[in-house]
């Protein structure tokens, strides 16, 4: 694996942070386990280096978005640490679609987008919340570091809650939607995960929400 060096000092040994493209969340010099904020900065540097090496020019803008040809849902891009190999997968809410994803360029398919908050279909009304890229920490299921890139889409019901800074009401809507879809109460850890995610999201909002269509 490739060793990546940053200009960020380790809070423990004060040497520039180093890590491998496999990323362990610790200083490569002294092994100090980094907090979420420092580890997130280091992970961003690692991923940018990995993407740039595997896909020249991708470190700054990422790969063009892909959509599944079958269900027309946006796909999630995953990069294999160490090899840089690329694969495309359905998002969690589309895992029960009953078919394997067939990637196609987003500009060649009539995309069926979802609200990034409540997961409802975005019909004729779609809102956009401008956001910076950020690292959300370790995924509770996969154990992999999870990051979010680009702006977030919102439906006509979630958008006013965001605009009015009513995040608790938004969380209740998201929770109810999940419970209606699954037929069971949302686990406490999932609700906590949403709350933490939205707290991080709020820190990275870069502009006012606006209607895109």
Q: Is the pLDDT of residue 32 over 70?
A: yes
Do both 202 and 142 map to the same domain?
yes
Q: What percent of the chain has pLDDT over 90?
A: 20
Do both 121 and 209 map to the same domain?
yes
pLDDT for position 134: 76
Do both 106 and 132 map to the same domain?
no
Q: What is the dihedral of CA 88, 93, 99, 102, to 10 degrees?
A: -30
- Which whole-number Å values give the CA distances from 115 to 125, 198, 203, in the listed order? 10, 14, 20
Number of structural domains found in the chain = 3
Of residues 115 and 146, the one with the higher pLDDT is 115
Do both 34 and 123 map to the same domain?
no
Do both 137 and 201 map to the same domain?
yes
Do both 119 and 202 map to the same domain?
yes
74-88 pLDDT per residue, tens: 887 776 655 666 788
Do both 26 and 88 map to the same domain?
no
Do both 69 and 107 map to the same domain?
yes
pLDDT for position 53: 43
146-188 pLDDT per residue, tens: 667 778 889 999 999 999 999 999 999 999 998 988 889 999 8
Do both 144 and 199 map to the same domain?
yes
Looking at 15, 35, 59, which one is the last position of a domain? 59
Q: What angle do CA 113, 76, 51 make, to 5 degrees?
A: 135
Chain centre to alpha carbon of residue 88: 14
pLDDT for position 16: 79
Counted residue by residue, the chain has a size of 213
Max CA pair span of the chain? 54
Sheet holding 152-154, edge to edge: 152-154, 127-129, 210-211
Do both 52 and 129 map to the same domain?
no
With a CB cutoff of 8 Å and minimum separation 6, the contacts of 148 are 131, 133, 134, 136, 201
Q: What percent of the chain has pLDDT over 70?
A: 71
Residue 148 structural domain: 113-213
DSSP codes of every residue in 149-163: -S-EEE-TTHHHHHH
Q: Is the pLDDT of residue 213 over 70?
A: yes
Looking at 15, 34, 59, which one is the last position of a domain? 59
> What is residue 145's three-state secondary structure?
strand
13-22 pLDDT per residue, tens: 888 777 654 4
pLDDT for position 21: 43
Give the predicted TM-score (pTM) of the model: 0.59
Looking at 59, 80, 100, which one is the last position of a domain? 59
Do 75 and 66 form a contact (C-beta atoms < 8 A)?
yes
Q: Is the pLDDT of residue 5 over 70?
A: no
Do both 126 and 206 map to the same domain?
yes
Q: Is the pLDDT of residue 200 over 70?
A: yes
Do both 117 and 203 map to the same domain?
yes
Q: What is the rounded distance in angstroms from the CA atom of residue 130 to the CA atom of residue 204?
A: 9
pLDDT for position 72: 86
């Amino acid at each position: 694996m490739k060793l990546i060096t940053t200009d960020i000092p380790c809070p423990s040994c004060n040497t520039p942070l180093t890590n491998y493209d496999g990323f362990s969340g610790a200083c490569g010099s002294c092994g100090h386990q980094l907090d979420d904020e420092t580890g997130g900065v280091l992970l961003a540097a690692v991923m940018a280096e990995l993407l740039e090496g595997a896909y020249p020019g991708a470190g700054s803008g990422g790969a063009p978005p892909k959509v599944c040809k079958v269900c027309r849902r946006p796909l999630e891009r995953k990069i294999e640490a160490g090899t840089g190999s690329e694969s495309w997968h359905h998002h969690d809410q589309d895992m029960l679609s009953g078919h394997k994803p067939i990637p196609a360029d987003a500009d060649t398919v009539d995309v069926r987008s979802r609200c990034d908050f409540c997961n409802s279909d975005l019909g004729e009304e779609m809102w956009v919340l401008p956001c910076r890229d950020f690292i959300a920490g370790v995924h509770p299921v996969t154990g992999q570091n999870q990051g979010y890139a680009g702006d977030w889409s919102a439906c006509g019901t979630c958008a006013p809650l965001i605009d009015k800074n009513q995040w608790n009401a938004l969380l209740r809507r998201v929770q109810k939607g999940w419970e209606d879809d699954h037929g069971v109460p949302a686990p406490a850890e999932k609700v906590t995960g949403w709350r933490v995610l939205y707290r991080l999201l709020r820190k990275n909002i870069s502009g006012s929400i606006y209607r895109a269509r």
